[in-house]
Amino acid sequence: MQGTPVNLRYLKLVDMKHGLFLKITACLIFSATTVFGQKQVTEGFNFTEKQLPVMLSEINAARANYNNPKLLLPRTLTKSGGLSIVPVSDWCSGFFPGELWYLFEYTKDPNWLSQAKKFTAYLEPEKFNKGTHDLGFEIYCSFGNGYRLTHDTAYKSIIIQSARSLSSRFDPKVGAIKSWGKMGQGKYTVIIDNMMNLELLFEATRLSGDSSFYKIAIVHANTTLKNHFRPDYSSYHVVNYDQATGGVIEKVTAQGYNNESAWARGQAWGLYGYTMCYRETKDNKYLVQAGHIADFILHNPGLPKDLIPYWDYNVPDKINQSRDVSAAAITASALLELGTYSKKNGKEYNSAAIKILDNLKSYRAKVGETHGFLLLHSTGNAPIKVEIDAPLIYADYYYLEALTRLKRLNAHRPVVQQ
């Protein structure tokens, strides 16, 4: 789908005005909480500086044990407690390079720059992968952060090519990017997680001037807004469509407690996704939706007092259920951005984000342990008993992203640097 060029001069002017708005808003919101927020940032990154060298050493040891050159990047722990490493085609492959970029951004240490470049380079072949909707996670978390911090033109071309590959999974009749399976085969499945991959498309339009990426992202966001949410603004995990007609066949779950429950990480994906869509479009319906999702999360009777959710908000017998720290980290990062946009509830959202980050200290690994992971007690896929009460690399990534955003707010700068 060929698009028309975007007026980049106009976009820059809009961004400049938006940046000024964010700077003023951040100053108003954080004038009373700067010292407290900065403490979380400093402690979190000091801890990270001690843990990531452990992770680097453990990755090398795991590679030697597996003796498989395709296994390159960390994801979680094995059943026996070892470090689980995955190939670049795994949806989690971009998170560790992203962590390295965030640590470099904080420390300005050239060693972390070198490591970030090294691990990011592994993912370049994925730019041609049309078999996954997860290129946003893979490429934007790695090359996207790399380009943001270095403006390396090679990274720019990789981002644009990745957006082309992702766009190949879009069907205009359905109005969405297919999440699972080959195009033209099986159910046309769209999951709430896919909102996170739209950021890659928005960035590709900004870098290339080709609006087709932007248009696909908007159509997908609107289709998801229409079909994924219940009246209380909780989200289904999975919606299956009839590719021939574009109609909805069923609304179900894969990782939630049941088809009508609110899977915790899914709610976080939706919150983050629509906050990001508002940033990129300034369309107020996305801001309203993000606010509704935030309110569903923060005022949910199933949310523990420390704001670290169980893996599903509706799961019974919570005493015997695992938390999902990854959902909390994603939520904190999203709330920090949403708080700069919301005139009515901005202070509440940012205060909640800081509370989450403060409470996540109780979920951190001990220094030098757990193969270098930062956070414990996440839940990958409870229904099939995979990655239960485990460290997960994406929990660590969004934790560092949230700390980076908090640091920027404390400095009265836009929460998201573009």
Residues noted as catalytic: 134, 193
CA 153/CA 368 separation, integer angstroms:
37
Task: Give ∠ CA 279-280-284 in degrees, rounded to 5.
Answer: 60
How many CA atoms lie within 13 Å of 33's alpha carbon, on the beta-carbon side? 21
CA 133/CA 153 separation, integer angstroms:
24
Residue 406 Rama label (left phi>0; alpha psi -120 to 50; beta)? alpha
Rg (Cα) of the chain, in Å, rounded? Answer: 20
Task: Give ∠ CA 277-104-412 in degrees, rounded to 5.
Answer: 55
CB 97 within 8 A of CB 55: no
Phi, psi of 326 (to 5 degrees): -60, -40
3-state secondary structure of 307: coil
Whole-angstrom CA distances from 229 to 80, 111, 218 are 38, 44, 17
